[in-house]
Amino acid sequence: MKINKNKKIELFYSMIRMRMIEEKIAEKYSEQEMRCPVHLSIGQEAIASGICMNLQKKDQVLSAHRSHFHYLAKGGSLKKMISEIYGKETGCAGGKGGSMHLIDIQAGLIAAVPIVGSTIPIGVGLAWANKLDNLKKIVVIFFGEGSTEEGVFYESINFAALHNLPVLFVCENNFYSVYSGLNKRQPKKRKLFNVAESLGVKGISLDGNNVEEIYLKAKKIIKSVQRTNHPFFIELSTYRFLEHCGPNNDDDLEYRPTSEILFWKKKCPIVKYKKKLLKEKVLNSKKLDKIYNEINLEINKSFKFAQKSKFPKNSNLMKNIYA
């Protein structure tokens, strides 16, 4: 299957926009106006873009602590996201959640929860409810490979297989859980998608930095999940470029070998794709400048909007609490 020129530009635009947004968050974080922790996904853009480009508005997404890209790629509002990070009432969670608790039902981001693994059963439950109600929606659960070390992961995969639920598990394998490498946590030869398969959910592993491959493969998989109501598991290898939590580079801490960092920087999903599109003449420097300017304008407007917005009222403190 081929991707047309407009879709290629859309994929590139979505990735570079997400990166520029997080670069701005990183730049402004030291101003101490964003008072929540931020887990930036720079380096992992291709996954959110490639998968979500295949979703419809009615489809539902869940995420974890590293959630900005999932919200943006699902069509969330940049103004609402930045406002949420600034703790303002105009934020998507009314300013009470911050970066790790993005939620926007209209946009289809049903929950982002930083308890590792916790949104996996929520997503499976949602898919079950959708199936019982005969709603033709797909649920996509994004999680890091660290989540596969939580017991609830196994229970959820089993349940999705048992009840044939329309859910897509998307495991972003960036090989680290905070400072612990996967090679210190799991046996060397294990493939995470094999674990899902052993429990009855079909899976594949993909290069998480190749946006076109992700987009095309996910298109087929999502169609098949919709048609058959069978769950599917995609494992994508990728790398986060910045520290686990915060706006900085932490290469000096040496928990990740320099050769490994260099290897993955060379595989940057955006640099690689830009080169490809320039070569194919889908992009040129004039078009690129137009894209950068447009995105910069949007970002600056959104930050201004967030900074000008009000903090939530004290009287709202106990509202929307589940009890």
Ligand X SMILES: Cc1ncc(C[n+]2csc(CCOP(=O)(O)OP(=O)(O)O)c2C)c(N)n1
Binding site for ligand X (CB under 6 A): 65-66, 114-116, 144-147, 174, 176-178, 244
Contacts (CB under 5 A) with Mg ion, residues 105-164: 144-145
Q: Which of 172, 201, 180, 200 is nearest to 69 (CA)?
A: 172
By a kind-dependent CB cut-off of 5 to 8 A, residue 137 interacts, out of ligand X, Mg ion, none, with none
CA 87 to centroid of chain Cα atoms:
21
| Minimum CB distance to ligand X, residue 106 (Å) | 26
Task: Using CB under 5 A, count the residues that bind Mg ion.
Answer: 3
Q: Identify the bridge partners of residue 93 per DSSP, sorted by sequence position.
A: none
Residue 269 binding Mg ion, by CB under 5 A:
no
Contacts (CB under 5 A) with Mg ion, residues 159-188: 174
Burial class (CB in 10 A: 0-12, 13-18, 19+), 62: buried
Judged by beta carbon, residue 9 or residue 152, the one nearer Mg ion is 152
Match 């922790």 to its residue by tokens: 37
- Which residue sits closest to Mg ion, CB atoms considered? 144
By a kind-dependent CB cut-off of 5 to 8 A, residue 114 interacts, out of Mg ion, ligand X, none, with ligand X
| Minimum CB distance to ligand X, residue 44 (Å) | 8
Judged by beta carbon, residue 67 or residue 309, the one nearer Mg ion is 67
| Minimum CB distance to ligand X, residue 147 (Å) | 5
Q: Both tokens of residue 29?
A: 């974080």
- Which residue sits closest to ligand X, CB atoms considered? 144
Judged by beta carbon, residue 63 or residue 77, the one nearer ligand X is 63
Judged by beta carbon, residue 115 or residue 132, the one nearer ligand X is 115
By a kind-dependent CB cut-off of 5 to 8 A, residue 97 interacts, out of Mg ion, ligand X, none, with none
Cα–Cα distance measured from residue 311 to residue 96, given in angstroms and rounded to the nearest whole number: 9
By a kind-dependent CB cut-off of 5 to 8 A, residue 60 interacts, out of Mg ion, ligand X, none, with none
**Site residues (vs Mg ion, CB under 5 A):** 144-145, 174
